[in-house]
Structure 1
Amino acid sequence: MRGLVDELAAPRPLIESLPGIYQEDDLARLLTSVFDDALAPVLCTIDNLPSYLDPALTPDDFLDWLAGWVGVLPDETWPVERRRALVALAVQLHRRRGTAAGMAMHVRLLGAADVEVEDSGGAIWSKTPGAKPPGDGTRSVTVKVTPPKKGQLDSARIEALVASLKPAHVVHRVALAGSPAK
């Protein structure tokens, strides 16, 4: 959590906005200095707004809020640098959403060493209108995940992620290396 900055000066003290007669008054100086102290953090934040919108520079406590703005939800247990990387990749992730490359990119962010996405490409059609299409048009996707050499992957989290990324009508399977496909 950010704290207050001691002795943060107002960029333009309010007393300077008053007519000259009030600028010389000690009571007016005292009263406006109270407002200067209250407004200085707000004005400082506004002056530095571009830094708040940059994932590499934003304060740690603002990072999750920024992640919500760009539509990604990092895991709260992740280290700050990993969450910053996710927010920085938000545009690329959204651009590839619904594709095999996008799904692989998302799963890699969970810590997988290697991800292979196989799409059945299931589509059926017939040359003759009204005729029963030949073949099997089952749409499915299989995600093969290799865990990192050190550490483990949360299979339930990967399963939920894949389910959220694939189209609703597509059947999916997640296969972790060393375990049968689900």
Structure 2
Amino acid sequence: MRGAIEGLGTPFPLRDGLPGVLLRGVSEAPLEAGTIHGLLAAFDDVLAPILATVDNIDAYLDPALTPADFLPWLAGWLGVELDAQWPAERVRQVLAAAAETLRWRGTPRGIAAAVRAATGVDPEVSDSGGVAFSPQARGAFPGSPDSLLVVRVPPGTDLAAVSAAVASAKPAHVPHRVEHLRR
């Protein structure tokens, strides 16, 4: 049959669900085309890959096991932006780190995790912690209400890639600056 995957059977052949009256004369020999048994065998060939996929859906959701052509879909589902130049193993590493990155999103720890996942370097993250809060009504703000996020990375690190990672992990209203560490 055209389109069937050689050797891939189904764990639930459709003919097993036939009433007894239609099973008369069914043997383990190949079924002839044109019979109800042949029709059911054709459906089994079509359904076998679908059943195999459904039975193994957990492997599709694991970055280490999913097929390489499924990685972009998984990244989109997790909201992770990928660089088209990354090899599949790098994409798998980034997706495996996504849970940690998303858990701490918006915090210095989460921003560091996002930069580490995107570039492979450990950044220094400084957050001014600025918020508009006062313990008394109409009172003065302690410190500076202006927030600023500064991320420093080793020399030679691609600042554009770091900036993109920071922008995706930080709160949208917080301005940020990316710079190289001074030696």
TM-score with structure 1 setting the length: 0.79
Report the number of matched residues.
172
Change (3 A) 1:4 1:90: farther
Change (3 A) 1:67 1:125: closer
SS in 1 for 2:123: strand
Structure 1 runs, 4 residues or longer, greater than 6 Å off: none
Identify the match of residue 71 of structure 2 among 53, 59, 63: 63
Residue of structure 1 equivalent to 2:105: 97
Residue of structure 2 equivalent to 1:119: 127
Residue of structure 2 equivalent to 1:16: 16
Residue of structure 1 equivalent to 2:6: 6
* Identity level (%): 47
AA at the equivalent of 2:112: A
SS in 1 for 2:63: coil
Change (3 A) 1:112 1:54: closer
Work out whether residues 112 and 146 of structure 1, in 8 Å CA contact, stay in contact via their aligned partners in 2.
Answer: no
Separation in 2, partners of 1:127, 1:16: 73
Separation in 2, partners of 1:120, 1:28: 73
C-alpha RMSD of matched pairs (Å): 2.6
Kindly state the Cα deviation for residue 51 of structure 1 after the two structures are TM-superposed. 1.6
Change (3 A) 1:79 1:4: farther
Residue of structure 1 equivalent to 2:29: none
Kindly state the Cα deviation for residue 38 of structure 1 after the two structures are TM-superposed. 0.5
Which stretch shows the higher mean deviation, 8-17 or 35-44? 8-17
After superposition, what is the alpha-carbon deviation per residue over 1:142-164, rounded to whole angstroms, capped at 9, x for unaligned?
A: 100115xxxx5432232232223
Work out whether residues 124 and 135 of structure 1, in 8 Å CA contact, stay in contact via their aligned partners in 2.
Answer: no
Change (3 A) 1:43 1:112: closer
Separation in 2, partners of 1:137, 1:169: 13
Kindly state the Cα deviation for residue 175 of structure 1 after the two structures are TM-superposed. 0.1
Kindly state the Cα deviation for residue 89 of structure 1 after the two structures are TM-superposed. 2.0
Identify the match of residue 170 of structure 1 among 152, 174, 177: 174
Which stretch shows the higher mean deviation, 81-90 or 93-102? 81-90
Work out whether residues 119 and 161 of structure 2, in 8 Å CA contact, stay in contact via their aligned partners in 1.
Answer: no
Identify the match of residue 32 of structure 1 among 15, 36, 40: 40
Aligned ranges 1:124-135 → 2 under 5 Å: 129-133=137-141
Separation in 2, partners of 1:122, 1:56: 39
Kindly state the Cα deviation for residue 93 of structure 1 after the two structures are TM-superposed. 1.0
AA at the equivalent of 1:166: K
TM-score with structure 2 setting the length: 0.79
Work out whether residues 110 and 153 of structure 1, in 8 Å CA contact, stay in contact via their aligned partners in 2.
Answer: no
